[in-house]
Amino acid sequence: MTFQDLKLIPELTLALDKKGYKEPTPIQQQAIPHILAGKDIFGCAQTGTGKTAAFALPILQLLHTNKPAVPQKTIKALILAPTRELALQISENFSEYGRNLGITHTTVFGGVNQNPQVNAIKRGVSILVATPGRLLDLMQQGFIKLNSIEYFVLDEADRMLDMGFINDIKKVITKLPAKKHTMFFSATAAPDIMKLANTILKNPVSVAVTPVSSTTTLVKQSVYYVKKESKRNLLKHILKSATIESALVFTRTKRGADKVVKELNSAGIKSEAIHGNKSQNARERALKGFKDRTIRVLVATDIASRGIDVDKLSHVINYELPEQAETYVHRIGRTGRAGANGIAISFCTQDEMPYLKDITKLIKKDIEVIKSHPFA
């Protein structure tokens, strides 16, 4: 299938050619025709599946084909994203895909001076990409009105909820027109996600990308059987090895991540946590420190870890096994990238055995068990 088969206009297919995109990803194949047909969408897709293009391309096309004869300065499309990094990434995609259309857009997010953002809005934009906090702030100050919105996208909804944005989202939704075209994207279809989706979508079409199941052969996988109370000591024992330059450690909870960091720092292993309770600036600082190697260990929860893309990451350690087997594949996929080798180590307690069983079933192979360690 080609992008022309999806009935995209030449201005968009030319921009996609320039980026070297030859054929649409599964989420794009499923979502684009429905969005062009005016249907609300519930999209279940992870980061890295091409979902930004799945909503950006049809929104650009609809705005272009339905544009009024006299240009207006009102905001027609609102894309709500959980973090500044994602908002900027989405904005960049709109610039690249819409390069031949002349449709104006801007991005608003916190942690920086609001004046340049306010000035861009005053000049008039058709598309606004925003994080919830700064959007509400500028609405309260009277700089942004959402009464002309025709297209609304809630991206990474599960991450929004994890970061405590549910009330902000509800406030934004009350200011949107009742009649609008809504697109809702989440990596999971958990009950609280579905509850939120059902309040804002009208007769939606569900599109989903089958979760990944294969693990790269470049990642060497192993598992340590250990008692729950010995996990911290085992982690410190493993990190004593000089061969581990940097490690991304996964926990299931935010509280768990903080506990691990406290333990490692007190043992002289420089660590930081990255999760939904951390401020934007704290997360950015931690990630920067990890990338430039001033922090050796980054401890993350699954949702907060999205977007962590670190070159030459040698080790991923599953301090706690994930409840979903697919999550394991995503976690260990952070290492062994771009032809480099990686190592994935997992700790498994008695009560985590069912998770390990699901993982081996999904990846269709056994994981090597390391028996010789002090905490076996």
pLDDT of 71 reads: 66
Top-confidence residue, 279 or 298? 298
- Can you list the pairs that 226-232 forms with residues at least 24 positions away whose Cβ atoms lie under 8 Å? 226/347, 226/348, 226/349, 226/373, 226/375, 226/376, 227/349, 227/350, 227/375, 228/349, 228/351, 230/375, 231/319, 231/347, 231/349, 232/260, 232/263
Q: Are 359 and 325 in contact (CB under 8 A)?
A: yes
SS3 11: helix
The lowest-confidence range among 14-23, 27-36, 46-55, 344-353 is 46-55
Topology (CATH) of 219-369: Rossmann fold (3.40.50)
Does 310 score more than 80 pLDDT?
no
pLDDT of 72 reads: 75
Does 49 score more than 80 pLDDT?
no
Does 278 score more than 90 pLDDT?
no
Does 340 score more than 80 pLDDT?
no
Question: What is the residue-averaged pLDDT of the chain?
Answer: 89
Task: Enumerate the domain spans of the chain.
Answer: 4-208, 219-369
Phi-psi region of 268 (alpha: psi -120 to 50; beta: other; left: phi over 0): left
Which residues, other chains included, contact 17 with Cβ-Cβ below 8 Å and sequence gap of 6+?
A: none
Does 70 score more than 70 pLDDT?
no
pLDDT of 33 reads: 96
User: Considering only CA atoms, which of 356, 62, 128, 129 is closest in space to residue 222?
Assistant: 356
Which tens digit of pLDDT belongs to each residue from 79-103?
999 988 889 889 999 999 999 998 9
Top-confidence residue, 72 or 370? 370
pLDDT of 107 reads: 96
Name the one residue in this structure whose structure tokens are 């088969």: 5
Which tens digit of pLDDT belongs to each residue from 183-242?
999 987 878 889 999 999 999 999 988 665 566 677 899 999 999 999 999 999 999 877
pLDDT of 304 reads: 64
Which tens digit of pLDDT belongs to each residue from 135-158?
999 999 999 999 999 999 999 998
pLDDT of 376 reads: 82
Which tens digit of pLDDT belongs to each residue from 183-196?
999 987 878 889 99
Top-confidence residue, 245 or 233? 233
Top-confidence residue, 111 or 39? 39
CATH 3.40.50.300 fits 4-208, yes or no: yes
At 71, list the tokens. 């240009």
* Portion of the chain with pLDDT greater than 90, in percent: 60
CATH topology identical between 4-208 and 219-369: yes
If 0-12 CB within 10 Å is exposed, 13-18 middle and 19+ buried, where does residue 260 land?
buried
The lowest-confidence range among 21-35, 175-189, 252-266, 272-286 is 272-286
Q: Are 80 and 155 in contact (CB under 8 A)?
A: yes
pLDDT of 287 reads: 86
Mean pLDDT of all residues in 276-297:
85
Mean pLDDT of all residues in 294-308:
81
Question: Which runs of E-coded beta strand occur in the chain?
Answer: 41-44, 77-80, 105-108, 127-130, 151-154, 181-186, 205-208, 219-225, 247-250, 271-274, 297-300, 315-318, 342-348, 368-369
Which tens digit of pLDDT belongs to each residue from 162-188?
788 889 999 999 999 999 999 999 987
Does 133 score more than 80 pLDDT?
yes
User: Considering only CA atoms, which of 342, 350, 134, 330 is closest in space to residue 231?
Assistant: 350
Q: Dihedral sign, CA of 144, 154, 128, 36?
A: negative
If 0-12 CB within 10 Å is exposed, 13-18 middle and 19+ buried, where does residue 69 land?
exposed
